[in-house]
Structure formats: C-alpha cells, structure tokens
Amino acid sequence: MLNIAVCVSGGGTNLQAILDGIEQGEITNTRVAAVISNNPGAYALERAENHGIEGVCISPKQFPDRESFNRAFLEKLDSYQVDLVVLAGFLVVLPESMIQKYRNRIINIHPSLIPSFCGTGYYGLKVHEGALARGVKVTGATVHFVDEGTDTGPIILQQPVMVEQEDTPETLQRRVMEQAEWKILPRAIDLIARGKVRVEDGKVVILEQPKRRKL
C-alpha cells in the first residue's frame, strides 16, 4: 500500500481528483494518509475532513523564522510515514533537507508543458497568462519529481491541451485542469503505486506500455 501525503494551498481540485481516482479504482493500492496546507482557510482541508482524512495546517507565519518552519514541517511529514509526497498546488518552497530525505518521492503537478512557462514566478493564472501572451497554440500540464530547482525535476507524464482563440487565462486554466491535470496526476500516482516508475540518469523510465487507441 502506497501511503501518500498531499500538500495543497488552495481549493484542492487536484486533491479531489486523487480522492476520486482512489474511490473509482483508477488509482490502485494507495491511501491518502494526510493533507497538509500552509493556508488555514484552504478548502482542501475541508475536502480531507469530508473523506475522513487528517488535515493539518502548517504555515511559515506560525514560526519566528523559516528554519523553525522547515524543521516543524519535516517533522510533521515524517510522522505520517508516507511513501510519496504529492504537491497539488502547494505554494511553499520546500526545504532542501526535505527534498534530500525524500529524493524521488516527491511529485508536483505544473500547469504547462515543462520546460515552457515554468520556474520562478510561474504559478496559478500567471502560467496561463504567459502562454496566451506568447501566443502558443498548445499548452498542457506536467507531473514531475521535485528536486532542488524550480520545476526542474525529472518529468513523469505530460498531457497537451489545445489553446482556443477566445481563451482567457481563466478559461484556459479550467480546461488545462479538466483535460490534463486531473488525468495525469492520478495516473502518475497509480504508476508509482504499482512500481512502474523509476529514475535512471536523471530521466524517468515508465515500465509499462501505453494503451493503444482503437482506430
């Protein structure tokens, strides 16, 4: 059984996709041990409660300095004895000690096709504003392992989404979530739970052939 902790700062739509995936059998051999947020008002914590999952808020604002927060955050995470940490819209920079301790056991969902529109400053609507300003015709989402950089870890899965001429950042954000994020994040977790993902020479190898579509 893969025990996971999901870290969320806001509403938790990707968390809901994970919970739905587990309940519907699309994510196998997995349980959510805890939901952690830096925002006491995050609706994600209510989603956790509704599913009988422990939700906890740990915010940098609760501590005198970042070092104290980092230490408390890691201690709390360790207490759940999780196999995988899922960042599902978590707007907090992880301490390096956590990245080192959980090497290749932290994944993140980013709303673009990395390496486009990623890195420092690209989060939330800013990603989609950047895509529309550049005039790209295809965007999407990426699930990747987390390393010490920003959106630089090994890529696990990507899903493209077409940009429509009348798109606003808000409509594009919604479509990327519906057509990409909510699909590939549960799939990545399931692949990891079934031992189908490994990292070799800084790249992800998926030990499963994709299903062929019928013509």
Name the residues annotated as catalytic. 110
Cis, peptide link before residue 115, omega less than 30° from 0: yes
Structure tokens at 154: 């090994």
CB 119 within 8 A of CB 127: no
CB 92 within 8 A of CB 60: yes
Please tell me whether residue 68 adopts helix, strand or coil conformation: helix
Backbone phi, psi, residue 167, to 5°: -60, 140
